[in-house]
Structure 1
Amino acid sequence: MTKQLLHLVFGGELVDPAGLDFADLSKLDIVGIYPSFAEAEAAWRAKAQATIDNAQMRYFVVHLHRLLEPDPALVTPAG
């Protein structure tokens, strides 16, 4: 079995297309969680293309697997 590399695809309308602040957090579009980057990218691309006429709308792919299992070299010890 291939290791699951979970990816979250979500988006929403931004205050400023050059920034990362959402205009209304209650209106975020949670597209889904996907087991591979290829599937997440396909979902992201479909949503991005469907909303291309709205310059404020932006979708993202978040690598959940990196948050769930961070690189040990990047984690600082507690204490």
Structure 2
Amino acid sequence: MPSRYWVVGGHYTDTAFTSVVAGTEEEHIGPFASYDEAKAAWQAKAWATVDNCNFRFRIIEEAGPKRVKRYWVIGGDYVDTGFRQLVEGAQEERIGPFDTYETAHAAWQKAAWSTVDSCTKRFRVVEETVV
């Protein structure tokens, strides 16, 4: 599930915004699927209460699952410089995964330099996002 956004606020006892006025509750408006949707709702609430300095509304993000990027070096020996079809009997090599682009790039350099004399061998860094 991706992040969700809430507009939270209300009428507070002072401009420190630590407690709401007695008999009221902090409002939670949402959830919204995007920050832009939440911002539109926030603007409506903020402009409706702009003349009272004890009103405050803010946008809070409820984070979705953590997404992790990892990187692979992929390539091999292709039939031509279009790099679409591997030579017969060959399989695409997958080196990795790597946690950072920098470490994948270093592995790519090693693979690329080891095959520099062949114009039909190619390697590339591919990014993958994992939940």
- Common topology (TM > 0.5): yes
Matched residues in 1 for 2:101 and 2:74: separation? Answer: 14
Q: Pairwise mapping of residues 27-66 of structure 1 onto structure 2 (< 5 A)?
A: 27-65=91-129
Bigger radius of gyration? 2
After superposition, the CA RMSD in angstroms is 2.1
Higher percent of residues as helix: 1
Return the structure number with greater relative CO, CA threshold 8 A, min gap 6: 1
Ranges in structure 2 where 5+ consecutive residues have no aligned partner: 1-66
Using the TM superposition, give the Cα deviation of residue 25 of structure 1 relative to its aligned residue in structure 2, in angstroms.
Answer: 6.3
2:108 partner letter: W
Counterpart CA distance in 1 for 2:74 and 2:93 is 5
Q: Which has the higher strand share?
A: 2
TM-score, normalised via structure 2 length: 0.43
8 A contact 1:13–1:24 mirrored in 2: no
Q: Distance in 2 between matches of 1:12 and 1:64?
A: 19
**Identity fraction in percent:** 25
Q: How many corresponding residue pairs?
A: 65
Q: Which runs of 5+ in 1 are unaligned?
A: 70-79
CA spacing shift, 1:6–1:48, aligned 2, 3 Å: same
The equivalent residue for 1:72 is: none
